[in-house]
Amino acid sequence: MVPQTPHFDPAHVTTLDSVVHNKPHAALLVVEQSPALEGESLLLGAKNATLVIMLSLILTRGKSILRNVPANDDVIHIIQLLEKVGAIVFFDKDTNILEVDTSGLDGYEVELEIMKKTRASVLAMGPLLARFGKADIAFPGGDVIGARPIDYHIKNFEKMGVSITETGERITAHTEHVKSRNLLLEYPSVGATENLMMFATLIPGTTKIINAALEPEVFDLIAILKKMGARIDVSVPATITIIGVDALDSVDHTIIFDRLEAGALLVAGAITGGYVHLPQAPAHAMGMFLMKLQEMGHTILIHPSGMGVKIKATKSPRAVNIKTAPYPGFPTDLQAYTMAALTLAQGTSKIHETVYENRLIHARQLVEMGAQIEITHYDTAIIRGVEELYGTHVIASDIRASCALVLAGLAATGTTTIAGVHHWKRGYQGLEDKLRALGANISLQE
Ligand code: UD1
């Protein structure tokens, strides 16, 4: 099934200035123009798989172990959430091993404060409903990249017999006459697929999620749920079938490597004209992105096993056109990094962002650095390649934009200072150290 574009509300306008002025942070990323990056780098687990997998442990009773867990701020926020509902959590940030004991869970409420810190908290709803028959959460709210409603989650929980009341910022839900159903998503939302799937694992009967999101992170969630004892099957066209079971067991699971961290390191190699080897990069999950790097003229070598990517960058990259889409399309989360690289490519590139209505906001910051980018309508960026970018002070609007500005800073003459460092810290653990080890001149000043 061809995914439709999600419904956009053109009235949703958030300016970058308002975001930054509301959240002043003194910390800065400081990036100097760097030589061609060279060397090998290791990856951590995917943030987007980790957050939902941590929340899936609410479905189990006992002590589970998660490995390869990145120690970024979003993970810390979800640890706080789990502790609030009664989990005992131990996180060793040096080994990236997280232990979560869910034997004594006793809460089904998620505070507004935690919901605002990370949108992924909304993914507690399905597991809490499955475990307690109740969930009391808050609206995660929109953010600068888009309104990000949760109507697909709500509508489909209701179809399955969940009664939902919205009062101000809170959503109170309880199960009434739960029933397994065929659920058709209007759009393959990653979060809605994950939330509904987790709920359905403990609901009697067969639930089908049709037009489901099939991102690699969704498959990692399926993998851990199956280890717990869930009965889940994936079939064409984009259908996830879940047969409810009575209980799920605690597990030991290693999170998949982060294709987005891999993407950042590959663009770092590309934009500096370097050579970067990522022996753990999940090439099989990065097809469209790697194809576009190749189209730009970079040499991409993929290990025959599908794990491991090397980039040998061309010194004269070419313009390419990109349209973001659900997996296996070009990931919206790699769009900002790629835009940074395209600012220095020969010719005119076009980026059409179809997943979020306001995710070209980093273009303005790249323009501050000398890029030539024009936004037509609200969803398309026309990028005319320039000879040089210049270091200046710029502001990061979200996790991926913070990294795009770092990447641009590696190639820009002089010094780039980047504010909005809390976004960087939400998304990455020590990425600045990995870049430095490859030869980048970057520091995080707190
Ligand atoms: C997840 C990822 C995020 C990534 C996105 C798309 C996590 C923690 N985050 O976010 O990094 O950018 O997938 O790959 O895994 N939508 C609705 N109503 C809904 C749900 C979604 O209109 O109920 C819209 C959203 O506003 C957006 C589009 O659908 O425009 C895609 O959203 P979705 O796939 O749900 O993204 P998230 O799960 O929030």
Residue 272 and residue 34: Cα distance in Å, rounded? Answer: 7
Under CATH, which number does the domain 47-254 receive?
3.65.10.10
Domain boundaries, the chain: 10-43+257-445, 47-254
Mean pLDDT, all residues of the chain: 93
Q: What is the pLDDT of residue 2?
A: 40
Pairing of strands 206-210, 182-184: parallel
Tell which one of 189, 194, 286 to mutate to probe ligand 1, the residue whose CB is within 8 A of the most ligand atoms. Answer: 189
Residue 342 and residue 338: Cα distance in Å, rounded? Answer: 6
Q: Which residues of the chain have pLDDT under 50?
A: 1-3, 9-24
Q: What spacing in Å lies between the alpha carbon of 148 and ligand 1's midpoint?
A: 7
Residue 151 and residue 30: Cα distance in Å, rounded? Answer: 40
Pairing of strands 275-282, 252-254: unpaired
CB distance 218 to ligand 1 below 6 Å: no
Q: Please name the CATH architecture into which domain 10-43+257-445 falls.
A: Alpha-beta prism (3.65)
- pLDDT tens digits, 427-441: 999 999 999 999 999
Q: What tokens were used for 67?
A: 């490995």
CB distance 139 to ligand 1 below 6 Å: no
Q: What tokens were used for 33?
A: 């123009």
Quote the pTM value: 0.94
Which ligand 1 atom is the nearest neighbour of the CA of 147? 26
Residue 144 and residue 12: Cα distance in Å, rounded? Answer: 9
Q: What spacing in Å lies between the alpha carbon of 40 and ligand 1's midpoint?
A: 32
Q: What is the pLDDT of residue 317?
A: 98
Residue 251 and residue 58: Cα distance in Å, rounded? Answer: 12
CB distance 332 to ligand 1 below 6 Å: yes
CB distance 190 to ligand 1 below 6 Å: yes
Tell which one of 187, 324, 379 to mutate to probe ligand 1, the residue whose CB is within 8 A of the most ligand atoms. Answer: 187
Closest residue (by CA) to atom 1 of ligand 1? 190
Residue 152 and residue 210: Cα distance in Å, rounded? Answer: 12
Which ligand 1 atom is the nearest neighbour of the CA of 194? 38
- pLDDT tens digits, 196-247: 999 999 999 999 999 999 999 999 999 999 999 999 999 999 999 999 999 9
| Cβ neighbours of residue 21 closer than 8 Å, sequence gap 6 or more | none
Instruction: Decide whether 10-43+257-445 matches 47-254 in CATH topology.
Output: yes
Separation in Å, CA 287 to CA 47, 274, 324, 423, 436: 19, 21, 13, 26, 27
